[in-house]
Amino acid sequence: MADLKLPRLNRFIASGRIGNDLELKFTPKGTPVIRVVLAVDRVYKDESDQWQTVTSWIDCVAWSKTAEMISNQAKKGSALLIEGRLDTRNWTDTNNVNRKSTEVNIDTVHFLEWKPRDGQETGSVNEPPMPQDEGAPNANTTNDDVPF
């Protein structure tokens, strides 16, 4: 049998909302760590043609700067897009029972909600109009004004 060249790929990407209260902790060596439970919804039509939603609760962990960033910028209910790898760990609980858990080790996090500046409420911000390129047609341009 020939050697099989199997790519070593372990990548996980998901978006959802944080389903737990966040608590930044530190290892004995002082490394920041935070645990996140991400609620990821899947919508489908059942056999009676009704829309149904199923929520998967995904255990995640972030370390170092990523953990600090999540702690500073997110809270329960915040929408995130996470990228990372799946890790499985074995451990023994307090009753001396062997356990196994799988979690996402977060490498990258994207915050999907806009945070207002201090003193401003969400939705009450007056954003400046988007700058318009000089060469781009404006809303008053008709097809007769286009040179081709």
What's the CATH code of the domain at 78?
Answer: 2.40.50.140
> Range of 33's domain?
12-113
Q: How many domains does the chain have?
A: 1
- pLDDT at residue 143, as a whole number: 47
Q: How confident is the model at residue 6 (pLDDT cuts 50, 70, 90)?
A: confident
Does residue 148 belong to any structural domain of this protein?
no
Does residue 6 belong to any structural domain of this protein?
no
Query: Is-contact 84 14, C-beta < 8 A?
Result: no
Distance CA 126, CA 122 (A): 10
- pLDDT at residue 44, as a whole number: 93
Task: Tell me the residue type at 65.
Answer: K
Give the pTM: 0.71
Dump pLDDT digits (tens) for 105-125: 999 999 998 766 665 554 433
Dump pLDDT digits (tens) for 39-92: 999 999 999 999 999 999 999 999 999 999 999 999 999 999 999 999 999 989
Distance CA 130, CA 116 (A): 18
Does residue 137 belong to any structural domain of this protein?
no
Does residue 27 belong to any structural domain of this protein?
yes
